[in-house]
């Protein structure tokens, strides 16, 4: 017996799955989707026929042991269930390791607009010179390598005096 959901599943392409995944935000940075962050590595349909169409999503953690990943995986499952998939596999891909280079340009711009300085280079926590997301000054100083989460470093702007987070994950 066919349900409406079976029809939806049959008509979905891998690209449209990615669009749906845009709805899932990073729990730490709610303006960024998991697609913006580059966490979603691949979307693959499984099963030999349309009726048995399953789906496999590979995700990579932004940093080792990120506790948010279990939550993200659960949200992906829930979303795919809503779309009508019954066979859902979410795998965590460990290599190659995630780098901030995987973040989309749109994601970096949204991060800046949210008040967090986007990553500039891989594997670096600059001592100064990070652009202040509040006033645009580069007259800034590192206050702490760890801010509210392990993913962010804390800086202060010497011009507008505002402290701000820098997204440093790699």
* Residues at the site binding Zn ion, with contacts judged by CB under 5 A: 132, 134-135, 137, 157, 159-160
Q: How far is the CB of 148 from Zn ion (least distance, A)?
A: 19
Q: In this structure, how many other beta carbons lie within 10 angstroms of the beta carbon of residue 98?
A: 23
Measured CA to CA, the distance from residue 164 to residue 55 in angstroms comes to 39
Identity of the residue, 9 or 157, whose beta carbon is nearer to Zn ion in the bound complex: 157
Q: How far is the CB of 109 from Zn ion (least distance, A)?
A: 18
Q: Which residues lie across from 107 on neighbouring strands?
A: none
Identity of the residue, 87 or 141, whose beta carbon is nearer to Zn ion in the bound complex: 141
Written as six digits, the tokens of 113 are 């607009």
- In angstroms, the Cα distances linking 88 to 4, 5, 139 are 18, 14, 49
Measured CA to CA, the distance from residue 157 to residue 134 in angstroms comes to 9
Q: How far is the CB of 167 from Zn ion (least distance, A)?
A: 17
Identity of the residue, 62 or 140, whose beta carbon is nearer to Zn ion in the bound complex: 140
Identity of the residue, 44 or 139, whose beta carbon is nearer to Zn ion in the bound complex: 139
Q: How far is the CB of 103 from Zn ion (least distance, A)?
A: 22
């Amino acid at each position: 017996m066919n349900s409406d959901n079976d029809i939806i599943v049959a008509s979905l392409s891998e690209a449209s799955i990615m669009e749906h995944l845009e709805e899932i935000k990073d729990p730490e940075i709610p303006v960024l989707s998991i697609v913006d962050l580059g966490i979603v590595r691949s979307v693959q349909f499984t099963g030999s026929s349309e009726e048995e169409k399953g789906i496999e999503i590979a995700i990579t953690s932004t940093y080792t042991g990120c506790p948010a990943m279990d939550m993200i995986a659960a949200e992906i499952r829930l979303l795919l269930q809503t779309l009508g998939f019954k066979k859902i596999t979410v795998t965590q891909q460990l290599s190659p390791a995630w780098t901030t280079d995987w973040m989309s340009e749109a994601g970096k711009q949204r991060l800046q607009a949210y008040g967090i300085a986007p990553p500039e280079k891989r594997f670096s926590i600059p001592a100064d010179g990070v652009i202040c997301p509040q006033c645009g000054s580069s007259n800034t100083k590192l206050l702490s390598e760890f801010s509210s989460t392990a993913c962010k470093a804390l800086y202060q702007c010497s011009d507008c005096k505002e402290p701000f987070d820098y997204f440093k994950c790699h």
